[in-house]
Amino acid sequence: MGDVRALVEVVARALADDPAQVTVTEAEHRGVSVVEVFMAPGELGRLIGRQGRTAQALRTLAQATGDRTSRKVQVEFRDGAPRR
């Protein structure tokens, strides 16, 4: 479960202007690992990329990593800090 989260976190921090404000959480929902990426307000566009290409590439990498352990993975992008 942690491999996908770690991969997404490394890529998100590499793309962010302020890597310290990147938070990645992982939860299980109906048999799917849901990975949420929270970035500082205004930086989400860097992670999504032009026409969503970067976001789609990150989702593809996450799914490929999940396939190694026969897990379905969903990556969601959020603007701002996670709710506690």
Q: Tell me the per-residue pLDDT of 11-55, one tens digit each, with 9 for 90 and over.
A: 999 999 989 999 999 999 898 999 999 998 888 888 888 999 999
Give Cα separations from 19 to 4, 16, 29, 59, 71 (angstroms): 18, 5, 27, 19, 27
Nearest to 25 by CA among 40, 38, 36: 36
The pLDDT tens digits of the residues spanning 67-82 come to 888 889 999 999 877 7
Closest of 54, 73, 53, 78 to residue 63, by C-alpha: 73
The single residue listed with the structure tokens 């999940």 is 66
Supply the pTM of this predicted model: 0.87
